[in-house]
Amino acid sequence: MSTLRADPAISTSPNTAATRPWWRRALDVVDDRLGITALTYPVPEHANNIAWSLGGITAAALVLLVVTGILLTQFYAPVPEEANASVRHIVTHEWGMWFVRGVHFWAAQAMYVTAALHLLRVFLTGSYKRPREGNWLIGVAMFGLVIFALFTGTVLKWDQEGYEALGHNVEVANLLGGGGLWFSPDFANRVSILIRLYSAHVVLIPGLIVVLFTLHALLVKRHRISPHPSLTADDESTDAPAAEPVEPFTHHLRRISALGLALLGALGLLAVTFPPPVGPAPVEGIEVIKPMWPFWWMFTLENWIGLSGILYGGGALFTILVALPFIDRNPHRAWRHRRVAMTIASAIVAAIIVLTILMAFTTAKTHLGM
């Protein structure tokens, strides 16, 4: 019979079964049935660093997005005739929903930022190397889904920004030919593309992220968290050194929950201070709005070489991310011993930042229908 004594923090108690407080015995009863103590497995101390908690913070943002998203779906009407008015109704007439929408809007961007920073941490500490290549690929897929969720979310409000985003969606689909059929309005004659993007936003994308995240977390447990390259003498090792102190995973979970609450506080503050805008219903045939900032770097490319710039830019980034664990054969994990990978990655990050800044100083240009 398992008991909660498997947790070292709890095992210090000298209580026997008879003298244990009622709530401890109640927890034992639950644990016998659900095996909660399995979560007390040891994790190295460095997993609690803020940089190593970024994946957990991303997961916390996902939870906030799902909860606020479920609330929003109660009032949002996903048909072209109603969509824009329903969003404006949500923020003006439904009690407290302006705040829920604000948290959802900022949580989406927070998830994008923390997922990108988590990706960079995994890259910097060489944690995508053997045996974690598969988990890196799962991460890349989740990152793509996060971007797709940002995009579909923008379309849903069906104002000028959303409508122009959809216009890009349709034209990129045309460029892709047969590969883009699902994104084109012709895919289903009787169901508007808004409804299909809505179903992707509320079911397909979050569902896939949850399934992939479950695999991701199981693989982190199976491989154990990668060693901190600066805490180990051998930076080719796949495991943390035996001398590093460990803590039960439940303590790590507690820390991530506290960070998640801090994130909620910050997002709430942003929602109150900078409530997300929603414009009036769109006007066809004009292109006057810049997309959301995570897409700016691709839109600078679009300004330079036309719509295909979005495809080439996004395609190149994801091809490099997918290929990375297979083309980088350097066994070292410390960044000092990985000059080539560091130089290429710095060039890519610098290019994305410069392209983004350039877009900040450019007015929207016309590309659709050209």
User: Which part of the chain contacts ligand HEM (CB under 6 A), choosing from 131-139, 176-184, 260-268, 296-304?
Assistant: 131-139
User: If you search the block for the tokens 């890009």, which residue do you land on?
Assistant: 168
List the interface residues with ligand HEM, window 38-77 (CB under 6 A). 52-56, 58-59, 62
Closer residue to ligand HEM in complex, CB, 134/306: 134
Closer residue to ligand HEM in complex, CB, 129/367: 129
325 binds ligand HEM (CB under 6 A): no
As measured in angstroms, the least distance from the Cβ of 140 to ligand HEM is 4
Short-list 321, 253, 291, CA closest to 115: 321
User: Which part of the chain contacts ligand HEM (CB under 6 A), choosing from 4-12, 113-121, 168-176, 183-191?
Assistant: 113-121
Cβ within 8 Å of residue 105, ≥6 positions away: 271, 276
Rounded Cα distance, 79 and 74, in Å = 14
CB atoms within 10 A of CB 159: 21
CB atoms within 10 A of CB 279: 16
Binding mask 272-301 for ligand HEM (x = CB under 6 A): ------------------------------
As measured in angstroms, the least distance from the Cβ of 324 to ligand HEM is 8
Determine the angle formed by the axes of helices 296-305 and 339-360, rounding to 10 degrees: 80
Q: Which amino acid is at 337?
A: H
146 binds ligand HEM (CB under 6 A): yes
Cβ within 8 Å of residue 314, ≥6 positions away: 298
112 binds ligand HEM (CB under 6 A): no
User: Which part of the chain contacts ligand HEM (CB under 6 A), choosing from 130-138, 257-265, 273-281, 340-348?
Assistant: 130-138
Rounded Cα distance, 187 and 169, in Å = 13
220 binds ligand HEM (CB under 6 A): yes
Q: Which residue number places its CB atom closest to ligand HEM?
A: 139
127 contacts 51 by C-beta, under 8 angstroms: no
128 binds ligand HEM (CB under 6 A): yes
User: Which part of the chain contacts ligand HEM (CB under 6 A), choosing from 11-19, 124-132, 276-284, 335-343?
Assistant: 124-132
In the chain, beta strands by DSSP E: 42-44, 246-248
Rounded Cα distance, 47 and 223, in Å = 13
Closer residue to ligand HEM in complex, CB, 76/151: 151
Closer residue to ligand HEM in complex, CB, 62/110: 62
127 binds ligand HEM (CB under 6 A): yes
Max Cα–Cα distance, the chain, nearest Å: 79
Rounded Cα distance, 51 and 226, in Å = 13
DSSP string, 357-370: HHHHTS-----TT-
User: Which part of the chain contacts ligand HEM (CB under 6 A), choosing from 84-92, 133-141, 235-243, 267-275?
Assistant: 133-141
As measured in angstroms, the least distance from the Cβ of 217 to ligand HEM is 6
7 contacts 248 by C-beta, under 8 angstroms: yes
| List of residues contacting ligand HEM (CB under 6 A) | 52-56, 58-59, 62, 115, 118-119, 122, 127-128, 132, 135-136, 139-140, 142-143, 146, 213, 216, 220, 225-226, 321
